[in-house]
Amino acid sequence: MRRLEELVLTFLLSLVARGRPQLAICVNNEGYAASLERFKVYRVLPDPDAMKHQQMRVVDESGEDYIYPAEYFELVTLPPSVSRRFPEKAIA
């Protein structure tokens, strides 16, 4: 991974650790096709230990949280007007 990409990923993961963005879009599900759908929005849970290893704790299709490679996701922040409309179950 290029240095700039590493810095951006580290910054984004730090935001998750502080409880800011809590959603991510899956952009790669290689090796996890049964657990992750590409282009679906998932909840991200704070996990400082996982973040130290470039991973994220994500609530997947099973409804349980597991650790996945952070590079498989793009963190997103929805505007409050949109996030209020999402029922909790709409986000895996």
- Determine the pLDDT at residue 75: 87
Of the candidates 68, 85, 75, the one whose C-alpha atom is nearest the C-alpha of residue 16 is 75
The whole-number pLDDT of residue 61 equals 82
Confidence of residue 78 (pLDDT cuts 50, 70, 90): confident
Q: What is the DSSP letter of 71?
A: G
Give the span between the Cα atoms of 81 and 55, in whole angstroms.
29
Q: What domains can you pick out in the chain, each with its CATH number?
A: 3-90 (2.30.30.40)
AA identity, residue 41: V
pTM value is 0.69
Indicate whether 19 pLDDT > 60: no
- For the stretch 23-47, pLDDT in tens is 899 999 999 999 999 999 998 988 8
